[in-house]
Amino acid sequence: SDPYASLSKITAVSGLKISPEIAGRILRASGRRVRYARKKPHISIASRQKRVSWARSQRHLLISQWRKRVFTDEIHIELSPSQRPRVHRPPNSEYDERFIAPAFKDARTSVMFWGAVGYGYHLPLVPIRKQTAAERTHDKDRLGLNSKQYCEEVLGPYLLPLLRQISSIESLEYRRWSSKSYI
């Protein structure tokens, strides 16, 4: 019952004297089609529960209060050839743990973007420059977005002008969506 097994392997393990094509027809008839495995979402169950809890606690807010909120986040996009494994799974089960491909970090090229949204507005995605080795601040620095770069390349040119345009900065509520600091 390995969902990642090829039709040839499924046929061999079954002990039935049928061709892989017949095994494929049987699987399709039972609702199992060959699909690309989804990658596991990066939000842990605990973080997901915290976000849902926070969202429920905010249901009472008025539109005037939502207009004063700005949500920001960064995203890393890894660029690599699509070599996702194929999996035999039933319909509507793409996020079932049994059918999700693990997402491991490797030597892929990645790009990072920053964005901000709020009630009735959004900023365009801002590409974040990858730091050079000369900008390393300590031995364990992985050259990600640090506070100096954030202030110079995001806060000053993008976020502060947006906040000034929306309202006085004192009346705004800023929310950065990450698993650790969104609450």
Structural domain spans, the chain:
38-84+101-176
* Predicted pLDDT at 182: 42
Q: pLDDT truncated to tens, each residue of the chain (183 aa)?
A: 788 888 889 899 988 899 999 988 998 898 888 877 777 667 888 988 998 999 999 999 999 888 888 889 988 887 765 666 778 888 888 888 888 876 655 556 778 999 999 888 899 999 998 888 888 888 888 777 888 889 999 999 998 888 888 776 556 666 665 545 443
Q: Domain 38-84+101-176 belongs to what topology?
A: Nucleotidyltransferase; domain 5 (3.30.420)
Contacts by 27-36, CB closer than 8 A, 24 or more apart: 27/88, 30/90, 31/90, 31/91, 32/88, 32/89, 32/90, 33/88, 33/89, 33/91, 34/86, 34/87, 34/88, 35/86, 35/87, 35/89, 35/94, 36/82, 36/84, 36/85, 36/86, 36/87
* Predicted pLDDT at 168: 60
Q: Could you tell me how far CA 171 lies from the centroid of its own chain?
A: 30
What lies within 8 Å, CB to CB, of 104 at 6+ separation is none
